Structure 1
């Protein structure tokens, strides 16, 4: 839909101008994903500048890193808002795409998850280099990481993947009530998981004095778990949007693209967490 057509139909324009020659079947082109990616890249730049600005001989002003990080957060959240608005809300009442458009959206999600795999992979490579050196690492004693809270939180996230999977199955079988109930359960479990991660951070930081400045392992731990927590938060927002749309009856066995793509994302986040627990929590407890 062009801008003029949107004006005629009373459409919203809370997105940047689309490209007119964008291939059909892939929806309107948008710059919001690029803005979001720019903000995400700024996180890493801000973290690097923070490291350069601290230490015995800082190379830059210590305030530069935090300033870049805060600015990148604003850009990231603005881009994320525009992206979600453009993708999920601006055409809310038009329902689900079908045919070529649906296949294109699923392919786009697969490509996005591939980029996410690279992002997490970079963090894990950093940790593997740390783990291959002197262990435990210098810079402070490690706390007891593999607690009952971590195991319970892991079980909660795994169960949420099952509830989302069977919610999708229920929708495909035409059982809308069961679909909405399991979708709500998934959202609640995701929020509980995030609460558990906040509690874990509180116990580490306040209870045991394990902070980001504690050493190289602490930077890997908080970096990877914080990145995962950000992804779970985004997943919970997406599930909430799907749940609201489900309440309005926008899904059916024939039209369920958003449910499919959000499920792909949530299962990916679940798998990353299991790998993270095995490598970052269990692996840190093993000494040779």
Structure 2
């Protein structure tokens, strides 16, 4: 997602040093990032044939299937629930390995290269949008499951008090993080490096605090309310949806942390923002899903209980 950015850290005013006392002007990106002259075609071919997204997808499939088998085994005893747990663990390991390789290839490898890979910025943004469109189906499957739960006997006996100050605080934190990310990108486009770094760091902090808040919410539900993943069909729907969203937030936090690491090393500028644009799209998507989840799952279940 980030191969369109020059790898060498810029100096002041977007220039790079060549080891002497003179400044070497940073290479300007061609119009619309569409110029693949020189070695660009070869790099583009290599990047788009990356194996890491496929490995990550296989791991994610194993993780989701493991959870499904665990729930199915608990409800029917046809298969041992531990089979699902084992598959989920293996899937998680494969998923994390795929993501690590993907991040290294798309985010970190360009910083180690002396040559800029001038892939089209527009193609990376379009691919990110396509990925997010397919990700809707993942959330959609769980939301459909929840809607089928609502068609049956309602309210369920295991329904805990969902609406509270914690979910409101978490929602405010996640919405604020989208705002800070948006203005961080604007600051970068305006060549305001200090403001960009400050807002990007704030976005990372808000994402981390949101995850801590969700962990506290899970702890309270499990210890105080006895509400767990195995607490009937509503429990599986609730923890399935919020857990899947929490996984997406965790991946987003990892992406933002990588952006911060690169930003501190001066790898970004007004014309070098491909990964900022793609990760921000992902983060805004995650925030939108959370709003929909809160309205449907938290508010909807509580109001109709």
TM-score (normalised: structure 2): 0.82
Provide the C-alpha distance between the structure 1 equivalents of 2:257 and 2:238, rounded to a whole number of angstroms. Answer: 28
Structure 2 residue 196 is the aligned partner of structure 1 residue 179? yes
Match in the other structure for 2:155:
136
Residue pair 2:146, 2:237 contacting (<8 A) in 1 also: yes
Query: 1:95 Cα shift?
Result: 8.9
Q: State which of 152, 165, 177 in structure 1 corresponds to 2:182.
A: 165
**2:204–2:256 Cα contact (<8 Å) kept:** yes
1:102 aligns with 2:121: yes
Q: Whose relative contact order is higher, 1 or 2, with alpha carbons under 8 Å and at least 6 apart? A: 2
8 Å Cα contact 2:110-2:116 kept in structure 1 = no
The aligned residue for residue 287 of structure 2 is: 270
Instruction: Name 1:248's counterpart in structure 2.
Output: 265
Q: 1:51 aligns with which of 64, 67, 71?
A: 71
Alignment of 1:136-285 (within 5 A): 136-137=155-156, 140-285=157-302
Contact persistence 2:190–2:270 (CA under 8 A): yes
User: Against the structure 1 CA distance between its residues 152 and 95, is the aligned structure 2 distance closer, same or farther, given a 3 Å change threshold?
Assistant: farther
SS in 1 for 2:79: coil
Kindly tell me: are residues 25 and 172 of structure 1, through their superposed partners in 2, closer, same or farther at Cα, counting changes over 3 Å?
farther
- 1:30 correspondence with 2:50: yes
Q: Provide Cα deviations, 1:165-188, integer angstroms capped at 9, x if missing partner.
A: 000001111111000000000000
Counterparts of 1:158 and 1:286 in 2: how far apart (Å)?
A: 23
> How far does residue 26 in structure 1 lie from its aligned partner after superposition?
7.7
- Structure 2 residue runs of 5 or longer lacking an equivalent are 1-40
Residue 82 of structure 1 corresponds to which residue in structure 2?
A: 101
Cα pair 1:171 1:179 within 8 Å, conserved? yes
| Equivalent in the alignment of 1:5 | none
Task: State whether residues 200 and 260 of structure 2, in contact with CA within 8 Å, keep that contact through their aligned partners in structure 1.
Answer: yes
Mapped to 1, the partners of 2:46 and 2:98 lie a distance apart of 19
Q: Distance in 2 between matches of 1:212 and 1:25?
A: 44
Query: How far, CA to CA, are the matches of 1:266 and 1:63 in structure 2?
Result: 33
Q: Which runs of 5+ in 1 are unaligned?
A: 1-20
Residue number in structure 2 paired with 1:4? none
SS in 1 for 2:227: coil
Matched with 1:41 is: 61
**Superposition deviation, residue 193 in structure 1:** 0.5
CA offset digits 1:117-139 (Å, max 9, x no partner)? 111111111111111222112xx
Question: Does the Cα contact within 8 Å between 2:74 and 2:230 map onto a contact in 1?
Answer: no
Distance 1:45 1:39, change over 3 A: same
The CA distance in 2 between the partners of 1:225 and 1:97, in whole Å, is 40
- TM-score by length of structure 1 reads 0.86
Q: Quick one: which of 56, 60, 69 aligns to 2:79?
A: 60
Q: Quick check: 27-36 or 57-66, which moved more?
A: 57-66
1:114 corresponds to = 133
My pick for the range that moved more, 123-132 or 222-231, is 123-132
CA contact (8 A) 1:180 1:247 kept: yes
